[in-house]
Structure 1
Amino acid sequence: MRRSLAARTALVISALLVVAGCGGGGAKKADPKDPVTIDVAVLAATEFYVIPWLVGQKQGFFTDHGVEVGKIVAGSGGSATLRTQLSGGMPIGEIGYKSVLDAWSEDVPVLAVGGGAQGPYGGDFYALADNDRVNELRDIKKWAYTNPGSSVYALSFLLPQAAGLPTKAERISAGGVGEGAALLEAGTVDVAWLPPSLASRNQGKFKLVVSTSKYITDFQQSVITTSPAYAKEHPDVVRGVLAGWQEAAKWITQNPEAAARIYAEHVDLPVAAATSVVKGAVESNVWNVGFNPAALKRGTDAAVVSGFKGEVKYCEFIDTSYLPGAATAELPTKCGA
């Protein structure tokens, strides 16, 4: 029954991919003097994932490469972002890595053409500030994660494993960020995952217990995706988006305060809190338009913990040929060998 449902879902998404593959301006080429306009879908678009898209949009980096990014549409994370991208006729988006794996495993024609978040930034767990009993990883007996199958759920296993600690503990699905914070306040759990925007806004209320970057380095959280049909029909648009995204990520590292003001305006976040998010992302080197094998392997490990089954054939759903020249383009396996 589960396979049948998954197959039906795949058929629906496949149909949507055909629609997305036919959109985006017909045969029009990406030209800085007459740019192709597209909308994009970005997972958790109030968090750090959206910052390169915002900067590229505001600073004209996409336009310089012949693409005008119109709306940045928020996905709700995971496969929901993929559905948001495809059902809205948006040819390009940034999607959670496991969601792309799941779609590919069900024969959905989705293609990862660029990296996104390739570090553990944003994967931290917090306790209430006045909880004197929980101060470090070994103190945690009850974890709150977002949803089953999420990278946050996987981290609740990968983190103690990386620290050489037992992974046995109680894990509770909060269902959302606000619900996780509510579980903390009710004393139901020891720690909950909180996104950087919420944590930076409430520094006196919560305390950091587990900094994920202390235990995990490379970690593929998201990838920039399109459909094979769209990539084949509009290769210059795909290349233009990736080149603009790369320039935006570089600009952020050089202008974190200016990037923070752009981000703050977008999410209605205090500038100080937005600056904390941007600088944290920059310091962790989270953004990379290219691919590296360590990040992909760790992302795959997390997907397996969250329920993914089967062999991962990276060359079937990742295409590095659209990347800018200076981008890294190494996969865990060689393609075409």
Structure 2
Amino acid sequence: MLRSKRRLAVTACSGFVLLLAGCSGGSTVDDDVAGGGGSAKAPTEVSAGYVSAIDQIGLPAGVEAGYFDDQDLNVKLADPYPTGVDALNALQAGEVDFVQVGTPAIAAAQKGIDLALVGNYTGSASRRSIDDTMAVVASGKSGVDGKDLTTLRGKRVGVSEGSINHLYLLGLLEKAGLKAGDVKIVNTEPPDMAVALKTGGIDVAIIWDPFPITITQQVDGAKEVLRGGEYIPFVGYIVTTPKYAEEHPDIVERFLTARATTDQWMRQNPDKAADAATRWLPGTPTDVALEAMQHNVKQLDPRFSACNYLALDSLAQLLAAQGNVEAGFDVNKYFRPGPILKVMTDEAKLFEDLPEMPASARIESGYAFDRTAAGKACPS
């Protein structure tokens, strides 16, 4: 009953993203759930936010499908944030209880924002590097060849400085034996990359889905010359505050159970997940969502292992080497693995379709990250 009400609300509100507060009159889709006058205990209210991107669609899709309802959680979604920085600022301000954030968490933590990383929304707990949602799109005149990365030398490359696509570029350059100074980095926001490539402001766009797909559709002669390749670890964490995690461990566990349930559903039903994406990311064509979701589901691994610590540590080192963050970032200060480890034990069926984690990469609550040991435990 409740799940069908959620789906009805999506249609009735004509795609407006703040659906769960109801469409009119201040009511919500959870009103009178028991059908008899409010005798049943009300679900726990939780607020959450996400960035408007295909790899973050699991949160609204899980709300729409009713998986949070199954955990007795009434999740109120904030309007999608344009960037992870905006999401973290909202968390710090107390506007939401949970957000989904990747690389920007490093700089935010160093600036004093209190963060507790309690789960993954994208990444891998079974290997060191995964980057299937990243791609290199080159103009037809650039001469860039994905099979010969030295062809990047001297090119104007559009990335968002300090973000995951910047790090992907650094991974590519390292593999090619090049340095950052061997290319001209042009700080470009994802929505502006198609125009920059079309007008010649950049020769190459390096970006995450769905932008590689839409850019090739919008710019004549542009083509995707490289996809993924395991050049870097991709990170995306479910984040709350240390205070919230300490005071509400049961809510955190139920929230992560709902997200893990959603992730498994998405992995098993990518076409249906893509259909949900078209509703929650306004303006996303069905064909784009379908193609992007095929890449996205490869990174839907909500588990924690030593590999996730290693991923964040590796990216922090890359950013520090470029002067984007301070050196010496200690990942141990921010991970709170207890809740997701309990979900992994109590709800093992939600993870049975994922690659097996190396035994040496498995962790327990209270795990202390060691770079050398984690590097040996996590295969490339």
User: Under TM normalisation by the shorter chain, which class is it?
Assistant: 0.7 to 0.9
Amino acid in structure 1 at the alignment position of 2:150: R
SS at match of 1:289: coil
Partner residue of 2:292? 277
User: 2:194–2:215: 8 Å Cα contact kept in structure 1?
Assistant: no
Matched, 1:208 2:224: yes
**Deviation by residue 1:32-91 (Cα, 9 ceiling, x = unmatched):** 963222221213x2x222221122111111111121222143222242220133336201
Partner residue of 1:58? 64
Match of 2:82 among 59, 70, 76: 76
SS at match of 1:94: strand
Amino acid in structure 2 at the alignment position of 1:318: F
Gaps of 5+ in 1: 1-31
Deviation for aligned residue 1:177 = 1.5
Partner residue of 2:92? 86
Amino acid in structure 1 at the alignment position of 2:133: G
Partner residue of 1:255? 269
Partner residue of 1:157? 170
Deviation for aligned residue 1:108 = 3.2
Partner residue of 1:12? none
Partner residue of 1:311? 328
Q: How far apart, CA to CA, are the structure 2 residues paired with 1:269 and 1:244?
A: 25
**Deviation by residue 1:224-283 (Cα, 9 ceiling, x = unmatched):** 11111111221111111111100101001111111111111222322121111111212x
Partner residue of 1:23? none
User: 1:116–1:289: 8 Å Cα contact kept in structure 2?
Assistant: yes
- What TM-score do the two structures reach when normalised by structure 1? 0.78
Q: How far apart, CA to CA, are the structure 1 residues paired with 2:236 and 2:156?
A: 23
Partner residue of 2:209? 196
Matched, 1:131 2:148: no
Q: How far apart, CA to CA, are the structure 2 residues paired with 1:201 and 1:109?
A: 36
User: 2:107–2:325: 8 Å Cα contact kept in structure 1?
Assistant: yes
**Deviation by residue 1:158-181 (Cα, 9 ceiling, x = unmatched):** 112134455542333333123322
SS at match of 1:194: strand
Kindly, what percent of the aligned residue pairs are identical? 19
**Deviation by residue 1:119-142 (Cα, 9 ceiling, x = unmatched):** 3133212112x3362232221132
Give the aligned CA root-mean-square deviation in angstroms.
2.7
SS at match of 2:49: strand
**Deviation by residue 1:143-170 (Cα, 9 ceiling, x = unmatched):** 4344332222222211121344555423
Provide closer, same or farther for how the CA distance between residues 56 and 75 of structure 1 changes in structure 2, counting only shifts above 3 A: same
Partner residue of 2:192? 179
Q: How far apart, CA to CA, are the structure 1 residues paired with 2:302 and 2:41?
A: 25
Deviation for aligned residue 1:317 = 0.9
**Deviation by residue 1:175-230 (Cα, 9 ceiling, x = unmatched):** 3123322221122322112332233335443311232x21426x142211111111
Q: How far apart, CA to CA, are the structure 1 residues paired with 2:177 and 2:305?
A: 25
Amino acid in structure 2 at the alignment position of 1:95: V
Q: How far apart, CA to CA, are the structure 2 residues paired with 1:196 and 1:308?
A: 25
Provide closer, same or farther for how the CA distance between residues 198 and 150 of structure 1 changes in structure 2, counting only shifts above 3 A: closer
The 5 Å alignment of 1:8-27 reads: none
User: 1:95–1:224: 8 Å Cα contact kept in structure 2?
Assistant: yes
Q: How far apart, CA to CA, are the structure 2 residues paired with 1:173 and 1:35?
A: 48
Partner residue of 1:18? none
Match of 1:39 among 33, 36, 47: 47
Aligned residues, how many?
297
Matched, 1:335 2:368: yes
Q: How far apart, CA to CA, are the structure 2 residues paired with 1:189 and 1:321?
A: 45
Q: How far apart, CA to CA, are the structure 2 residues paired with 1:320 and 1:295?
A: 10
User: 1:147–1:175: 8 Å Cα contact kept in structure 2?
Assistant: yes
Amino acid in structure 1 at the alignment position of 2:64: K
Q: How far apart, CA to CA, are the structure 2 residues paired with 1:152 and 1:51?
A: 19
User: 2:331–2:369: 8 Å Cα contact kept in structure 1?
Assistant: no
Matched, 1:122 2:133: yes
Deviation for aligned residue 1:300 = 2.7
Gaps of 5+ in 2: 1-39, 124-129, 352-356, 371-380
Partner residue of 2:7? none
User: 2:116–2:336: 8 Å Cα contact kept in structure 1?
Assistant: yes
Q: How far apart, CA to CA, are the structure 2 residues paired with 1:134 and 1:146?
A: 16
